[in-house]
Amino acid sequence: MEHFFLNIAHSLIVWLMGLGLSSKGADLVLLIVQWICIVAIVTINVIVLIWLERKVAGFMQQRLGPNRLGPAGMFQTIADAIKLLTKEDIIPSAADRIIFRTAPIFFIIIAVMLYVVLPMGDGMQIVDLNVGVFYFISVASLSTICLLMAGWGSNNKWSLLGAMRSVAQMISYEIPLAFSLLGVIMIAGSLSLSDIVAAQNNIWFIILQPVAFITFFIAATAELNRGPFDMPEAEQELTAGAYTEYTGMRWALFFLAEYTNLVAVSALASTMFLGGWHGPWLPSWIWIIIKTYLVMLIFMWMKWTFPRIRMDHLMSFSWKVLIPVTLANILVTGAGIQFLAGMGW
Amino acid sequence: MLRTEQFTINIGPQHPSTHGGLHVEAVMDGEFIVDAIVHLGYVHRSVEKIAESRTYPQYVPYTSRLDYLASHLPTLGYCQAVEKMLGVAVPERAEYIRIIMAEFSRIASHLLFIGSCAIDLGATTGLIYCLRDRERIMDMFEMTSGQRLIASYMRIGGVSEDLPDTFIPAARSFIADFPEMIAEYDGLIIGNEILQARLKGVGRLNADDAIAYGVSGPNLRACGIDYDIRKAEPYGIYDRFDFTVPLAENGDSWDRLLVRMEEMQQSIHIIEQALNQLPEGEVKAKVPRIIKPAEGIEVYHRIESSKGELGYYIVADGGEKPYRLHVRAPSFINLMVLPMISKGGKLQDIIANIATLDPVLGESDR
Amino acid sequence: MSLNDAVFFLLAVITAGSALGVITSRNIVYSALLLVVTFLGVAGLYFQMNAGFIGLVQILIYGGAISVLIIFAIMLVMDVEPHRTNPPSPRLPRRLGGIYLSILLVITMGAAIWFTHWPLAVGTTGADEMAVLADLMLGKYVVAFEIAAVLLLVAIVGAIILAKGADDK
Amino acid sequence: MKGQGLLKGLYITLKRAVGKDITIQYPEQMPYLQDRFRGCLHFDYTKCIVCGLCTKACPNNVLSYESRQVEGSKKKELVSYTIDLQYCLFCNLCVEACPTNTLYFTHDFELSRYQRDQIKIVYEIPKEEPSAVKVDLKGDAPEPDETKKEKQLAAMTAALQKNPQKTVRKMVENDEDAEILAGILLEDEQKLSRMAALMIADREKAKKVAVAFVNKEKKDRLKGGGAEDESK
State the pLDDT confidence band at C147, using cuts at 50, 70 and 90. very high
Cα distance between residue A177 and residue A220, in whole Å: 7
Cα distance between residue A118 and residue A271, in whole Å: 8
Cα distance between residue D211 and residue D173, in whole Å: 8
User: Which of chain C's residues have a Cβ under 8 Å away from the Cβ of A167?
Assistant: 68, 72
B317, A38, A304: which is closest to D13 by C-alpha? Answer: A304
Q: What is each CA distance from B80 to B83, B292, B347, in whole angstroms? A: 5, 16, 42
CB-based contact, B1 to chain C, within 8 Å: yes
CB-based contact, C70 to chain A, within 8 Å: no
Residue D170 domain-assigned (yes or no) = yes
| Chain-chain contact of A239 with B197 (C-beta, under 8 angstroms) | no
| Chain-chain contact of A306 with B123 (C-beta, under 8 angstroms) | yes
pLDDT at C108 over 90: yes
Please check whether residue A43 is in contact with residue A35, taking contact to mean a CB–CB distance below 8 angstroms. Answer: no
- As a whole number of angstroms, the longest Cα–Cα distance in chain D is 101
pLDDT of residue A235: 66
E strand or H helix at B7: strand B7-11
* Interface chains of chain B (3 or more CB pairs under 8 Å): A, C, D
What would the pLDDT profile of D120-169 be if each residue is shown by its tens digit? 888 777 665 544 444 555 444 444 455 666 667 777 777 777 676 666 66
Ordered domains of chain B (ranges, CATH): 46-330 (1.10.645.10)
Quick one: average pLDDT of C76-103?
75
Provide the H-helix boundaries in chain A: 4-18, 23-60, 76-85, 97-113, 132-141, 143-154, 157-188, 193-199, 205-208, 210-223, 235-238, 248-272, 284-303, 311-316, 323-343
Chain A nearest C-alpha distance from D230 (Å) = 50
Residue D26 domain-assigned (yes or no) = no
User: Which of chain A's residues have a Cβ under 8 Å away from the Cβ of C68?
Assistant: 144-145, 148, 167, 171
Residue D66 domain-assigned (yes or no) = yes
Residue D30 domain-assigned (yes or no) = no
pLDDT of residue D127: 60
Report which listed range, A152-161, A243-252, C34-43, is most confident. C34-43
Chain D nearest C-alpha distance from A288 (Å) = 24
pLDDT of residue C101: 92
Please check whether residue A329 is in contact with residue A215, taking contact to mean a CB–CB distance below 8 angstroms. Answer: yes
Q: What is the DSSP letter of B149?
A: S
Nearest CB neighbour to C75, from listed A141, A142, A152? A152
CB-based contact, D20 to chain A, within 8 Å: yes
Chain B nearest C-alpha distance from D3 (Å) = 7
| Chain-chain contact of D92 with B145 (C-beta, under 8 angstroms) | yes
Residue D11 domain-assigned (yes or no) = no
Residue C164 domain-assigned (yes or no) = yes
Residues listed for chain C: 169
User: Which of chain D's residues have a Cβ under 8 Å away from the Cβ of B146?
Assistant: 34, 36-38, 90, 92, 105
Nearest CB neighbour to A157, from listed B7, B15, B120? B7
Question: Which are the contacts of A215, defined by CB distance < 8 A and separation ≥ 6?
Answer: A176, A179, A180, A322, A325, A326, A329
Residue D107 domain-assigned (yes or no) = yes
pLDDT of residue D128: 54
Nearest CB neighbour to A62, from listed D9, D14, D16? D16
Cα distance between residue B201 and residue B196, in whole Å: 9
Residue D53 domain-assigned (yes or no) = yes
pLDDT at A120 over 80: no
pLDDT at C105 over 90: yes
Considering only CB atoms, which residues of chain C are within 8 Å of chain B?
Answer: 163, 165, 168
Chain B nearest C-alpha distance from D7 (Å) = 9
Interstrand relation of D134-136 and D63-69 (parallel, antiparallel or unpaired):
unpaired
Please name every residue paired with B326 in a beta bridge, in sequence order, or none if there are none.
B313
Count of domains forming chain C? 2
* Interface chains of chain A (3 or more CB pairs under 8 Å): B, C, D
What would the pLDDT profile of B203-253 be if each residue is shown by its tens digit? 888 888 888 988 888 888 888 888 888 888 888 888 888 888 888 888 888
Considering only CB atoms, which residues of chain B are within 8 Å of chain A?
Answer: 7, 9, 15-17, 31, 118-126, 128-129, 132, 188, 192, 194-195, 197-198, 346-349, 351
- Could you tell me if C82 and C143 lie in one domain? no
Exposed, middle or buried, B75 (CB in 10 Å: 0-12/13-18/19+)? buried
Please check whether residue B184 is in contact with residue B129, taking contact to mean a CB–CB distance below 8 angstroms. Answer: yes
CB-based contact, A61 to chain B, within 8 Å: yes
User: Which of chain D's residues have a Cβ under 8 Å away from the Cβ of B142?
Assistant: 33-34, 36-37
Number of CB atoms found within 10 A of residue C38's CB: 21
Q: What is each CA distance from B61 to B286, B290, B364, in whole angstroms? A: 20, 17, 17
* Interface chains of chain D (3 or more CB pairs under 8 Å): A, B
Secondary structure class of A278 (helix, strand, coil): coil
| Chain-chain contact of B128 with A62 (C-beta, under 8 angstroms) | yes
Touch between chain D and chain C: 3 or more Cβ pairs under 8 Å: no
Number of CB atoms found within 10 A of residue B361's CB: 24
* Closest chain D residue by Cα to residue A298: D10
User: Which of chain B's residues have a Cβ under 8 Å away from the Cβ of D2?
Assistant: 193
Residue D106 domain-assigned (yes or no) = yes
Count of domains forming chain D? 2
Domain ranges of chain A: 1-86, 95-343
Question: Left (φ > 0), alpha (ψ -120 to 50) or beta: where does D115 sit?
Answer: beta
User: Which of chain C's residues have a Cβ under 8 Å away from the Cβ of B1?
Assistant: 165, 168
Interstrand relation of D63-69 and B309-316 (parallel, antiparallel or unpaired):
unpaired
pLDDT at B33 over 70: yes
| Chain-chain contact of C68 with A137 (C-beta, under 8 angstroms) | no
E strand or H helix at B35: strand B32-39
pLDDT of residue A195: 79
Question: Which are the contacts of C151, defined by CB distance < 8 A and separation ≥ 6?
Answer: none
User: Which of chain D's residues have a Cβ under 8 Å away from the Cβ of B144?
Assistant: 36
* Closest chain A residue by Cα to residue D16: A60
CB-based contact, D22 to chain A, within 8 Å: yes
Chain A nearest C-alpha distance from B328 (Å) = 30
Q: What is each CA distance from B119 to B123, B124, B166, B361, in whole angstroms? A: 5, 5, 33, 18
- Could you tell me if D128 and D153 lie in one domain? no
CA A247 to chain centre: 23
Quick one: average pLDDT of B262-287?
86
- Could you tell me if C144 and C81 lie in one domain? no
| Chain-chain contact of A59 with D18 (C-beta, under 8 angstroms) | yes
Secondary structure class of D103 (helix, strand, coil): strand
Quick one: average pLDDT of C82-108?
81
Domain boundary among D84, D114, D136: D136
| Chain-chain contact of B348 with A157 (C-beta, under 8 angstroms) | no
The proportion of chain A whose per-residue pLDDT surpasses 70, expressed as a percent, equals 97
Domain boundary among C89, C116, C135: C89
State the pLDDT confidence band at B37, using cuts at 50, 70 and 90. confident
What would the pLDDT profile of A203-261 be if each residue is shown by its tens digit? 787 777 888 888 888 888 888 888 788 776 666 677 777 788 888 888 888 888 888 88
CA D223 to chain centre: 39
Nearest CB neighbour to B143, from listed D4, D34, D57? D34
Number of CB atoms found within 10 A of residue C80's CB: 9
Q: For chain C, how are helix, strand and coil distributed in percent, rounded to 5?
A: 80, 0, 20
Can you give the CATH number for the domain in which D58 is found? 3.30.70.3270
Pairs of residues, one from chain B and one from chain C, whose beta carbons lie less than 8 Å apart: 3
CB-based contact, A160 to chain C, within 8 Å: yes
* Closest chain B residue by Cα to residue A228: B122
pLDDT of residue D138: 47
ipTM of the complex: 0.72
Nearest CB neighbour to A237, from listed B192, B195, B348? B348
Chain B nearest C-alpha distance from C68 (Å) = 18
Residue C45 domain-assigned (yes or no) = yes
Touch between chain D and chain A: 3 or more Cβ pairs under 8 Å: yes
State the pLDDT confidence band at C110, using cuts at 50, 70 and 90. very high
pLDDT of residue C17: 92
Peptide bond connecting A104 to the previous residue in cis, omega within 30 degrees of 0: no
Touch between chain A and chain B: 3 or more Cβ pairs under 8 Å: yes
D161, D167, D153: which is closest to D196 by C-alpha? Answer: D153
- Could you tell me if C62 and C134 lie in one domain? no
Cα distance between residue D157 and residue D149, in whole Å: 12
Nearest CB neighbour to D9, from listed A56, A67, A306? A306
| Chain-chain contact of A60 with D23 (C-beta, under 8 angstroms) | no
CB neighbour burial string for C129-156, b if at least 16 within 10 angstroms, e if fewer: bbeeeeeeeeeeeeeeeeeeeeeeeeee
Q: What is each CA distance from D206 to D119, D121, D144, D154, D160, in whole angstroms? A: 20, 20, 18, 17, 13
- Could you tell me if D45 and D117 lie in one domain? yes
Domain limits for position C83 = 1-89
pLDDT at C140 over 60: yes
Cα distance between residue B361 and residue C110, in whole Å: 72
- Could you tell me if C80 and C132 lie in one domain? no
CA B12 to chain centre: 22
Task: Output phi, psi for B303, to 5 deg.
Answer: -130, 165
B346, B324, B352: which is closest to B200 by C-alpha? Answer: B352
Nearest CB neighbour to B187, from listed D8, D38, D93? D8
CB-based contact, A249 to chain C, within 8 Å: no
- Could you tell me if C64 and C146 lie in one domain? no
Nearest CB neighbour to B118, from listed A57, A307, A309? A307
| N- to C-terminal Cα separation, chain D | 94
| Chain-chain contact of A237 with B351 (C-beta, under 8 angstroms) | yes
Domain boundary among C28, C63, C89: C89
Domain limits for position D214 = 146-226
The proportion of chain D whose per-residue pLDDT surpasses 90, expressed as a percent, equals 0
E strand or H helix at B10: strand B7-11
E strand or H helix at B355: helix B347-357
